[in-house]
């Protein structure tokens, strides 16, 4: 009896405590800092440099969101999360959102009570092989040894793919990317499989990059994007529309450099609304009216962020591919801003 009273009281306290922090945006403003769950280190997407400054494709999205909410892109605290701790860190409120290459799946949405609010990178699992293996398609990999990281969705995708195509393979399990690269280069496996973006980054740093090819088949869908927890829809909207603002900016040709210029000269009503020159779209999200303008000024539009961190011209050298705007045959499509 007493015990149940105690647990009841505990539950009530938790509930009240939970209610009191209902507004993530208000919490962030009160704290003066956005807490962004990031990778422990992933080339091009999110990693600190030798003096602790975070850079990367995912990191720039966090900075844009901080700029939208707080008006200052530097007010972000990056909390490194591992594959094991990331979702719990989000659920327990230790971070405000996760932007760390997490794949959007049905069970993560439902069972883990998370909301994937957008897809900032469409990835997919691919294969890399040595050129002298003479293979031009993944379907020719019958009997091959394949290096694969354990405990990831890529392991399951690999099994599915080979089963569907009725060919056999020998898995060589490795713990992480660096070990996989090492084993692959040492000849312990014929093929290395992981997300295509990861393959490209690995290939870029190999001593003999020209001797390795990434096969054309992409065997899985890996939509990666920012994640928030259930229960605060307004915060989810803020994250989603900050991201869309970056997409619209690219579509309309607004860059970090020319934003003031565009604002002064534009006749496009949607651009005016986006930059806060007309209407009160920012206020409707509970933000400043110039919020989305600040987000664009933080690190540029989606295309600029892509090009700076992972795009062609960087060492990672990823093509836009699926991540091109819908106007250029890609999947990146923002709903109208009105």
What residue ranges bind other proteins (CB under 8 A)?
13, 17-18, 20-21, 27, 39-44, 47-52, 77, 79-82, 84-85, 88-89, 92-94, 176-179, 181-182, 201-202, 204-207, 314-316
CB of 177 to other proteins, least distance (A): 8
CB of 128 to other proteins, least distance (A): 13
Rounded Cα distance, 208 and 263, in Å:
48
Is the CB of 140 or the CB of 179 nearer to other proteins? Answer: 179
End-to-end CA distance of the chain: 56
| Angle (nearest 5°) at CA 132 between 128 and 136 | 55
Is the CB of 80 or the CB of 279 nearer to other proteins? Answer: 80
Within 10 A of 330 (CB to CB), how many other CB atoms are there? 14
Is residue 245 within 8 A of residue 332, CB to CB? The reply is: no
CB of 168 to other proteins, least distance (A): 30
Is the CB of 176 or the CB of 268 nearer to other proteins? Answer: 176
CB of 205 to other proteins, least distance (A): 4
Is the CB of 90 or the CB of 219 nearer to other proteins? Answer: 90
CB of 78 to other proteins, least distance (A): 8
Is residue 112 within 8 A of residue 91, CB to CB? The reply is: yes
| Residues 298/88/194/156 CA torsion (nearest 10 deg) | -150
Cα separation values, 228 from 8, 80, 97, 115, 324, Å = 28, 16, 5, 5, 25
Q: Residue 169 has which token pair?
A: 């393979």
CB of 201 to other proteins, least distance (A): 7
Is the CB of 94 or the CB of 142 nearer to other proteins? Answer: 94
Is residue 148 within 8 A of residue 86, CB to CB? The reply is: no
Is the CB of 24 or the CB of 103 nearer to other proteins? Answer: 24
Tokens 């990434």 sit at which residue?
214
Is the CB of 272 or the CB of 308 nearer to other proteins? Answer: 308
Is residue 312 within 8 A of residue 200, CB to CB? The reply is: no
Is the CB of 8 or the CB of 329 nearer to other proteins? Answer: 8
CB of 258 to other proteins, least distance (A): 28
CB of 228 to other proteins, least distance (A): 15
Q: How many CA atoms lie within 13 Å of 1's alpha carbon, on the beta-carbon side?
A: 0
Is the CB of 24 or the CB of 289 nearer to other proteins? Answer: 24
CB of 60 to other proteins, least distance (A): 15
Is residue 99 within 8 A of residue 54, CB to CB? The reply is: no
Rounded Cα distance, 273 and 249, in Å:
12
Cα separation values, 315 from 109, 197, 202, 267, 322, Å = 34, 12, 10, 38, 20
Is residue 310 within 8 A of residue 46, CB to CB? The reply is: no
């Amino acid at each position: 009896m007493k015990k149940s009273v105690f647990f009841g009281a505990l539950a009530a306290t938790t509930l009240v405590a939970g209610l009191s922090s209902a507004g993530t945006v208000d919490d962030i403003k009160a704290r003066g800092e956005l807490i962004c769950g990031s990778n422990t280190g992933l080339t091009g997407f999110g990693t600190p440099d030798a003096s602790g400054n975070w850079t990367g494709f995912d990191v720039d999205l966090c900075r844009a969101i901080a700029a939208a909410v707080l008006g200052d892109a530097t007010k972000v605290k990056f909390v490194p999360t591992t594959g094991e701790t990331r979702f719990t860190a989000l659920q327990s409120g230790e971070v405000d959102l996760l932007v760390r290459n997490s794949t959007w799946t049905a069970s993560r949405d439902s069972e883990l009570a998370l909301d994937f609010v957008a897809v900032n990178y469409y990835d997919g699992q691919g294969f890399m092989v040595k050129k002298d293996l003479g293979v031009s398609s993944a379907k020719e990999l019958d009997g091959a040894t394949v290096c694969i990281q354990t405990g990831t969705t890529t392991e399951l995708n690999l099994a599915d793919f080979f089963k569907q195509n009725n060919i056999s393979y020998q898995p060589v399990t490795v713990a992480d990317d660096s070990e996989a690269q090492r084993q692959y280069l040492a000849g312990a496996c014929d093929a290395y499989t992981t997300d295509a973006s990861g393959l490209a980054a690995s290939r870029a740093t190999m001593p003999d990059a020209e001797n390795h090819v990434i096969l054309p088949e992409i065997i899985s869908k890996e939509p990666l994007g920012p994640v928030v927890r259930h229960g605060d829809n307004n915060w989810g909207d803020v994250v989603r529309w900050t991201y869309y603002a970056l997409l619209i900016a690219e579509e309309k040709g607004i860059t970090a450099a020319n934003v003031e210029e565009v604002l002064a000269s534009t006749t496009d009503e949607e651009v005016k609304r986006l930059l806060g020159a007309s209407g009160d779209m920012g206020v409707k999200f509970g933000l400043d009216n110039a919020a989305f303008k600040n987000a664009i000024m933080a690190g540029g539009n989606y295309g600029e962020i892509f090009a700076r961190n992972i795009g062609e011209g960087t060492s990672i050298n990823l093509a836009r591919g699926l991540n091109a705007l819908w106007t250029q045959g890609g999947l990146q499509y923002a709903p109208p801003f009105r």
